[in-house]
C-alpha cells in the first residue's frame, strides 16, 4: 500500500448509504465523525486495493474529528471503478455444510460473501436481502457488479428465481452461476434463462407429486405413513369415558398420556383427540351398516 492510496479511494463517492461521502471526502461514521478507515465497499472500487483488508483514513483527514464535506476534485472518477463480484451461499438446514459453496466462490474471485442456512421456502432470507442491497448500492455508484452463486437453486426456484433475476437485470447487475444447469453468466431476460428457471420450479412439483403417489400406493397396501401413532386402545377407551362426562377436547387431552414413541409421557393435542373420536365414530358407523 502507498501513502497516496486514500486519494485513489476518494476519487469515488462512498457507495454505502450510511456514509455516502462524496468524492474528495473521507468516510464518516454514524455519529458524524471522520472514520478511522474507509468503508470496504468504497476502497474495493479501486482495483489495486480490491483484496486489501482495510485502508486507513490518513492523519491529514483527522480521524475522529467532526465530518465536513471537502471540495469535490475536478478529476473525480477519472480512474476506472473496476468490477466487483459479490457472492451468496445458502444451505437449507443447519446440518448442511456451506464449505463447498464458500470454497468455490473464493476460487471464483468473489470479494465478499453473504451466507445463511435457511429453507428455500422461507419468504424472507436476510443475508440474500443484504447481498442484493449491496450490489444495488454498488451499481448505483457506477460500479460494474456481478452477483455470483454456486448454483441457481441456492437463490430460489421457479417464479421466485425469475423475479429476482428480473430485478437484477433491471438494475444492470450481472448474475453468474458456478455450476448446475444454469452454469455461466446469463442475461436474466433471455428466453433460455426464463425456460430453465421455470423448469426448476416444475422440479419441486414433480418431486411432490411423486411423493404423494408413493404415499397413496403405500396406503393401498396397508402400510402407515408418517411417525409412530400416539393413540392406542387404552387411550381410546379412556378418551371415550371422559367424553361421556361432557369434558372439552382440551380437558380430555390434558388427562391422557402418550405411552409409546418419541412423545412418550406427553399429552396428545386436542386435534389428535378430535381425530381419534372421528375415526372411532366412523368405524362404528361403518360396522353398523
Given the residues 25, 92, 140, 220, the one annotated as active site:
92
Q: Take residue 202 and report the three cell numbers written for it.
A: 416444475
Taking the C-alpha atoms of residue 139 and residue 84, their distance in angstroms, rounded to an integer, is: 9
Pairing mode of beta strands 184-186, 83-91: unpaired
Taking the C-alpha atoms of residue 212 and residue 221, their distance in angstroms, rounded to an integer, is: 14
3-state secondary structure 50-94: CCCCCCECCHHHCCCCECCCCCCCCCCCCCCCCEEEEEEEEECCC
Does residue 92 carry a catalytic annotation?
A: yes
* Sheet of strand 184-186: strand arrangement: 112-117, 83-91, 144-149, 174-177, 184-186
Instruction: Please work out, in degrees rounded to the nearest 5, the angle formed at the alpha carbon of residue 139 by the alpha carbons of 133 and 141.
Output: 105
Catalytic residues: 92
Amino acid at each position: 500500500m502507498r501513502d497516496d492510496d486514500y486519494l485513489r479511494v476518494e476519487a469515488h463517492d462512498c457507495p454505502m448509504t450510511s456514509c455516502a461521502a462524496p468524492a474528495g471526502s473521507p468516510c464518516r461514521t454514524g455519529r458524524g465523525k471522520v472514520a478511522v478507515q474507509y468503508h470496504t465497499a468504497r476502497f474495493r472500487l479501486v482495483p489495486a486495493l480490491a483484496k486489501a483488508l482495510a485502508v486507513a483514513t490518513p492523519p491529514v483527514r483527522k480521524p475522529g474529528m467532526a465530518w465536513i464535506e471537502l471540495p469535490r476534485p475536478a478529476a473525480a472518477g477519472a480512474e476506472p471503478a473496476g468490477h466487483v463480484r459479490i457472492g451468496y451461499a445458502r444451505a437449507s438446514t443447519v446440518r448442511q455444510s456451506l464449505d463447498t459453496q464458500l470454497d468455490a466462490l473464493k476460487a471464483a474471485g468473489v470479494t465478499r460473501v453473504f451466507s445463511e442456512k435457511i429453507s428455500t421456502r422461507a419468504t424472507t432470507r436476510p443475508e440474500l436481502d443484504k447481498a442484493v442491497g449491496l450490489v444495488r448500492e454498488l451499481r448505483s455508484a457506477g460500479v460494474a457488479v456481478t452477483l455470483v452463486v454456486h448454483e441457481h437453486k441456492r437463490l430460489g426456484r421457479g417464479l421466485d428465481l425469475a423475479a429476482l433475476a428480473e430485478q437484477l437485470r433491471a438494475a444492470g447487475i450481472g448474475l453468474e452461476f458456478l455450476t448446475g444447469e444454469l452454469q455461466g453468466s446469463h442475461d436474466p431476460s433471455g428466453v433460455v434463462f426464463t425456460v430453465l428457471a421455470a423448469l426448476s420450479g416444475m422440479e419441486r412439483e414433480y418431486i411432490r407429486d411423486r411423493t404423494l403417489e408413493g404415499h397413496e400406493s403405500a396406503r393401498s397396501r396397508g402400510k402407515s405413513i408418517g411417525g409412530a401413532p400416539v393413540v392406542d386402545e387404552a387411550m381410546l377407551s379412556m378418551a371415550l369415558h371422559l367424553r361421556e362426562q361432557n369434558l372439552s377436547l382440551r380437558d380430555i387431552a390434558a388427562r391422557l398420556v402418550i405411552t409409546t414413541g418419541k412423545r412418550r409421557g406427553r399429552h396428545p393435542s386436542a386435534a389428535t383427540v378430535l381425530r381419534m373420536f372421528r375415526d372411532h365414530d366412523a368405524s362404528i358407523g361403518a360396522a353398523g351398516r
